[in-house]
């Protein structure tokens, strides 16, 4: 996969030289280049911003340096152009899986109040333009979002994650939060690892982990429970969910009790 990132803070993307992503690049699985937007300006001051039409706070990124940069990285085909934005659709794991199938992705990191909107319109001719948000909070620019999105996409490329079993397990736990994990020592500062995990009984361990996933999801992410297909739940699932205050009503999981206080 080829990835190009355009930013006025290319050093911000230095983390992509490290760890799993750095290894994938060294191994030739990922061809990633970071570009400095200022290299595509043509004035003495390398200006990338200007005041907003219509007034308001802050500055807006000028369109022409973006057009020059995007034309320079576009290459032969029609790449996906991801534009991180607080006004984008929220980036999900499903999108990461789809994007991991692409040949070429370009990321345009805005700063200030964002990029002149005409750049996104203009780019539609030669890119598949996707304004995407990392989540519902405000960042100072697109760089942190790109670090997160590149990592989420690149770890799905064949050969990038050392143990492909991790990815298989991930797709099985689809729709529920992860179960809690523990390592040695089995007793630590007066806290014990759940005994079932030391039992060697793999069926009971799987059931325990599934129970924990369901409890956690009910407690922390009830929005995910409402999306579950009730037909995929077994009797033990339904028993745990009943304790957490959920029951199947008309094929949908429905809250039957008000959530009580405290957390886990
Ligand atoms: C790209 C510039 C900074 C900050 C004004 C007024 C309410 C904010 C742009 N999940 C995410 N959050 N933020 C970003 C993100 C932020 C960016 C850029 C992505 C380029 N900024 C900025 C304030 C405002 N808005 C109305 C919201 C605009 C992001 C992602 N991905």
Q: What is residue 259's predicted lDDT score, i.e. its pLDDT?
A: 82
Tell me which residue has tokens 């009984």.
201
Query: How far apart (Å, rounded) are the C-alpha atoms in residues 130 and 37?
Result: 19
Query: How far apart (Å, rounded) are the C-alpha atoms in residues 235 and 220?
Result: 22
Q: What is residue 261's predicted lDDT score, i.e. its pLDDT?
A: 75
Query: How far apart (Å, rounded) are the C-alpha atoms in residues 163 and 210?
Result: 22
Question: What tens digit of pLDDT does each residue of 169-221 get?
Answer: 787 667 999 999 999 999 999 999 999 999 999 999 999 999 999 999 999 99
Lowest mean pLDDT among 65-74, 119-128, 214-223, 253-262: 253-262
Out of 82, 134, 139, 144, mutate this one to test ligand 1's pocket (max ligand atoms within 8 Å of CB): namely 139
3-state SS of the chain is CEEEEEECCHHHHHHHHCHHHHHHHHCCCCEEEEEEHHHHCCCCCCCCEECCCCCCCCCEECHHHHHHHHHHHCCCCCCEEEEEEEEEEECCHHHHHHHCCCCEEEEECCCCCCECHHHHHHHCCCCEEEEEECCCCCCCCCHHHHHHHHHHHHCCCCCCCCCHHHHHHHHHCCCCCCCCCCCCCCEECCEECCHHHHCCCHHHHHHHHHHHHHHHHHHHCHHHHCCCCHHHCCHHHHHHHHHCCEEEECCEEEECCCCCCCCC
Q: What is the mean pLDDT of the chain?
A: 95
Q: Is the pLDDT of residue 162 over 80?
A: no
Instruction: Say if CB 221 and CB 177 are below 8 A apart.
Output: yes
Question: What tens digit of pLDDT does each residue of 27-70 get?
Answer: 999 999 999 999 999 999 999 999 999 999 999 999 999 999 99
58 Cα–ligand 1 center, Å = 12
Minimum-distance ligand 1 atom for the alpha carbon of 112: 2
Q: In the structure, which protein residues have their CB atom closer than 6 angstroms to any atom of ligand 1?
A: 84-86, 110-114, 133-135, 137-142, 145
Q: Is the pLDDT of residue 263 over 60?
A: no
Q: How many CA atoms lie within 13 A of 107 on its CB side?
A: 32
Average pLDDT over residues 92-103: 97
36 Cα–ligand 1 center, Å = 20
Q: Is the pLDDT of residue 264 over 70?
A: no
Question: What tens digit of pLDDT does each residue of 2-15 get?
Answer: 999 999 999 999 99
Q: Is the pLDDT of residue 118 over 70?
A: yes
Q: What is residue 173's predicted lDDT score, i.e. its pLDDT?
A: 66
85 Cα–ligand 1 center, Å = 5
Give percent of the chain above pLDDT 70. Answer: 98
pLDDT band, very low/low/confident/very high, at 258 (cuts 50, 70, 90): confident
């Amino acid at each position: 996969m080829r990835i190009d990132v355009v930013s006025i803070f290319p050093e911000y993307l230095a983390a992509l030289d490290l760890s799993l992503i750095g290894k994938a690049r060294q191994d030739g699985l990922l061809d990633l280049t970071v570009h400095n937007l200022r290299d595509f300006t043509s004035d003495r001051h390398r200006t990338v911003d200007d005041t907003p039409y219509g007034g308001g706070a802050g500055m807006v990124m000028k369109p022409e340096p973006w057009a020059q940069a995007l034309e320079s990285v576009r290459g032969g085909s029609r790449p996906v152009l991801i534009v991180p934005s607080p006004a984008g659709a929220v980036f999900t794991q499903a999108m990461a899986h789809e994007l991991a199938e692409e040949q070429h992705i370009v990321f345009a990191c805005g700063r200030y109040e964002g990029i002149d909107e005409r750049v996104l319109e203009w780019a539609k001719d030669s890119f598949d333009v996707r304004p995407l948000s990392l989540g519902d909070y405000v960042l100072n620019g697109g760089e942190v979002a790109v670090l997160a999105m590149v990592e989420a996409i690149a770890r799905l490329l064949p050969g990038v994650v050392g143990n492909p079993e991790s990815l298989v397990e991930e797709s099985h736990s689809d729709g529920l939060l992860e179960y809690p994990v523990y390592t040695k020592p089995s007793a630590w500062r007066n806290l014990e690892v759940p005994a079932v995990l030391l039992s060697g009984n793999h069926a009971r361990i799987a059931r325990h982990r599934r129970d924990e996933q369901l409890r956690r999801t009910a407690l922390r992410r009830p929005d995910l429970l409402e999306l579950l297909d009730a037909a995929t739940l077994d009797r033990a699932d339904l028993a745990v969910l009943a304790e957490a205050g959920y029951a199947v009503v008309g094929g949908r999981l429905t809250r039957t009790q008000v959530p009580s206080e405290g957390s886990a």
